[in-house]
Amino acid sequence: MSHPPMPPARRVNVGEVTLSVHEAGPKDGLPVLLLHGWPELALSWAAQIEALAGAGYRVIAPDNRGFGASDAPHEVSAYHVDRLTGDIAGLLDALGIEKAVIVGHDWGGILMWHAACLIPERFLGAVGVNTPHLPRGSKPPTDVFREMGGEEHYIVRFQEDAADGIFKGRESDFFDFVFGASFPSADIGKLPPSVTHLPKRFERFIERGGLKSEDDVVVPKEARAEYARIYAETGFRGGVNWYRNFDANWERMGGVDHRLSMPCLMISAECDYMLPPKLTAWMPALCKDLEMHVIENIGHWTQYEAPDALNAYLLDWLGRRFKGLPS
């Protein structure tokens, strides 16, 4: 595994907060905005930034609010979907961009789909990496997660203030654990509810002596060290606060039309046990213009596990759907 160098970051005032933003590619290229998930940073897009910029796209990859070198307000309400969507609009405004193609992975994918519904006029197209566009459920998300994994489900645990410190002081071990290789595809449907008990599984990982081999992880050692260094400085509260808004965001999206007319691309990972490809079954009913692909034999960390395949899908789709469009 290798990790391309990241372009330098600069601080960009987007309204309520200032974000740390990496930019690459020609300024007159078609803008492509990359939104990372938890516990990632803009760093997770290094291979995609290199490929997209090399193909002539203007690539923008921020550390999202609460992560890395971006501002991280303490209060939970600061991470409501309206505030996060405001960051996206504010960033595009600050960069003089009217519309961009938006790409999101994990939490970045959830935000991306919500933003595509709330401010569709700012996007040329939308790309979900692992994270599908879903209809609004009939009950608050935390109720659903409790049904899936009980009180030990990591998203339920993250609702507690104590979750801010679960991984504190053990950042290196945490990233060795969380970036572990996926379960085989044949096992995905047989996994017990305890697979969602991330804090407990982390404790068992530590008790067993931590990482045994680099073959057991999918993110390069130097990248994991950088994640650990940054999180040792920032702590985990900012990112965890995104989870604490699940129910508030569910309330907010009530009555919002989830149907999208913009071009949409969905790239799933066969072995992602939290976001399996079967969840995309709703998408043809929600996305008028949809293309879907599944990358086989990889799990949740698609940017690292299959950078070439992901880049190929992105470049092919962008080239076909937006060729000749002005920036």
Structure tokens at 23: 């930019």
Please pick, among 3, 133, 197, 300, the residue that the annotation labels catalytic.
300
For residue 23, the tally of other CB atoms under 10 A from its CB is 19
Catalytic annotation present for 133 = no
Q: Which of 63, 71, 87, 106 is catalytic?
A: 106
Whether 105 is a known active-site residue: answer no
Q: What angle do CA 225, 269, 298 make, to 5 degrees?
A: 55
Residues with a known catalytic role: 106, 300
